[in-house]
Amino acid sequence: MDMTFLKTPFLAGIAMGIACAGCSVETKVAVPEVSAGLLRAKILEGRPAPLTRLNVVAHLNVKSFGAVPNDGKDDREAVLAAIEKAKSMEGPVQIDFEPGVYDVQPISPEWTVGRKEAVLPLQNCVNLVVDGHGAEILIHRQDISFVTARSSTNLIVRNFSIDYDPLPFSQGTVETVDAANLSFVMKLQPGFPAPDDPFFKTCGSWGMLKDPAHPGRLKADCPDHFFYKEILSLGEGLFRVVLRNQGVISNVESEDVFVINGRSVGVVQYFGSENITFDHLTIFACPGSLFVGAQTSRLNVLNCKGLLKGNRLIVSGADGVHCQSARIGPWVENCEFEGLSDDCLNIYGLPIYVLEQGSPTQLTVYARAPILVGDRLAFFNPNTGTILQETIVVSYAGRSCMEGNDTIFPRGTLVLSDPVGPLDIAPPGTSVDMHGWRIYDHAYDLDSIGNHFVYRNNYMHDGRRYGLFIKASNGLIEDNMFEGLSHAGMAIKNNAGWPEGFRAQNLVIQRNRISECGYGNTDPCVEVFSRKLSGFLETPIQKNLYFLNNTFEAVTGPAMTLSGVSNLMAKGNTFTSGSASGPLITIQYSEDVSWINNQGQDRVESN
């Protein structure tokens, strides 16, 4: 279990079978009903409330440093000067902008995606507020972030809108299709950069077919991405797009709209920081994720929006909120995101790879996040789906260094409290990345996966992929709406094929609504899975989940799919589907699942 209080008798469970009228499977009351309320209280107790104010003792105005709104001049140097002055003062300090448009140009003519420039480079900042008072930030190259917070504590950035000129994505209408040569010709729509713009050659770039009748959504019943081999200019705004993969050109038709993203920097980035808040930010364009970073605890995203503007069918090249290897997870509340190109929320930890096994309790490992004494580790065989050992860190001696924007601890000696049997270790010379190492035994740090998170009162709609992609524990998900997303509204599962982990336990999920999701992939509204590299785990790792008073409206097929789940209570939910027959809920490799007063619980299929 992930929390000490959950080892107390009130969650020991009742192994009492009960009859369910019309159900095709026996249901069990796995846990007392009252424990859901107690769990919610403990989650909120373990996750401090968001930082919303600091007792500011001094103000600085960027205008005093030369940043004048609406003059069309580059305001970067003036903003940097204000930040440096604030860092030299006793705080808390507030930097103020006046309403209007502030222009930001790149530092140099070279593309700097690797260096990740930022309008607000907040490094080693403590007790700082940056208030835009409604200012608009217009960024004039697609490799520049708005904020990069690094090694900083107690930050608030609020009241800004952010846009790009040129945009970090392109958009055109398909005119003709040449299926034999896996290509099509598109006409660039006004206001978008040419798809052979240098930016798209500096980063991971691919395309999507969009549905103009439902802005932000993908075209239904087709792949959710298209890799291309090349894009050739034909003149007069026409471009030939040659696809890389066989078999996908059949999805492209005349009059389709094709969007090309350039996935690079996020608008807001955070690394190795603590207790930082982004409040009332409205983002109209983003090269990568809206909010993205690693090793940052107590991230707070409040009252923020990612919104489509004008005739655009896309906002971002990646996620909404991306949270990697946090010791205390994010708090996201009162936000609205649409037109995203990836998951609205993704919380996870990275694998720890084993280089050498000197003894059952001493290993040489490669880790991309700090490992602390007392951390709980789970060693995992991704091929069999077996948890080989859960143990505690006695000591870890590793050297830290920077890799890109991440502080990593690539090689160190790990001493464990419990012996781990012989491990399947990658041969020397194996590429140290997710692709080369994912087939070998590895470990996850259960205290560095984003536990203790809150996701409340958000509206996520009309975009690609999942609403929530959760691999963390001790979380509260309540009063959210997910609508028009191409995949499941909630995906609670480990991802063995792309090592992000590890497991979700002790979640309260209540009063949410998921509708019109999964149209692009026939996904259910909710999927809770325990996965191995090929197939599903027969032993559950997703445990202690409460689904209370939610509404799940599937486009077709099941509304909920469970595999490898233990101790799940579903009470007062509504399950519906556009499919008049067949199951609304499917279950396999699961135990102690309880159905209480749910609409649609008579259509359960268990394998």
| Domain segments of the chain as ranges | 58-166+265-327, 169-262, 352-445
Average the pLDDT over each of 24-28, 384-388, 400-404, 537-541 and give the range with the smallest value. Answer: 24-28
Q: Which of 29-38, 49-58, 197-206, 492-501: highest mean pLDDT?
A: 49-58
Do 58-166+265-327 and 169-262 fold alike per CATH? no
Residue 108, SS3?
coil
Is 90's pLDDT higher than 90? yes
Is 533's pLDDT higher than 50? yes
Is 587's pLDDT higher than 70? yes
Is 265's pLDDT higher than 70? yes
Question: 141: closest CA among 166, 110, 120, 114?
Answer: 166
Model pLDDT for residues 436-490, shown as the tens digit of each residue: 788 999 999 999 999 999 999 999 999 999 999 999 999 999 999 999 999 999 9
pTM, 2 dp: 0.93
Is 22's pLDDT higher than 50? no
Model pLDDT for residues 346-359, shown as the tens digit of each residue: 999 999 999 999 99
The mean pLDDT of 39-61, rounded to a whole number, is: 97
Q: What is the DSSP string of 14-60?
A: --EEE--TT-SS-EEE-S-TTHHHHHHHHHHHHSPPPP------EEE
CA distance from start to end of the chain: 26
d(CA 542, CA 368): 24
Q: Please, are residues 502 and 472 in contact by the beta-carbon 8 Å criterion?
A: no
> 185-215: buried (b, 16+ CB within 10 Å) or exposed (e) per residue?
bbebbeebbbbebebbebbebbbbbbbeebb
Residue 200, SS3?
helix
Mean pLDDT, all residues of the chain = 91
d(CA 410, CA 155): 29
Q: Give, for 300, the enclosing helix (H) or strand (E).
A: strand 297-302
pLDDT for res 607: 83
In terms of CATH architecture, what is 169-262? Beta Barrel (2.40)
User: How far is Cα of residue 306 from the mean position of the Cα atoms in its chain?
Assistant: 14
- Residue 548 burial (C-beta neighbours within 10 Å; 0-12, 13-18, 19+): buried
Domain boundaries 58-166+265-327, corresponding CATH code: 2.160.20.10
* Beta-strand relationship, 481-485 and 459-463: parallel
Give the CA distances from residue 548 to residues 309, 473, 527, 596, in Å, rounded to whole numbers and listed in that order.
36, 17, 16, 10
Average the pLDDT over each of 4-13, 188-197, 219-228, 505-514 and give the range with the smallest value. Answer: 4-13
Strands (E), 417-504: 442-445, 453-456, 459-463, 468-470, 475-478, 481-485, 490-493
Is 550's pLDDT higher than 90? yes
The mean pLDDT of 223-237, rounded to a whole number, is: 96
pLDDT for res 108: 82
User: How far is Cα of residue 55 from the mean position of the Cα atoms in its chain?
Assistant: 32
pLDDT for res 407: 56
pLDDT for res 17: 28
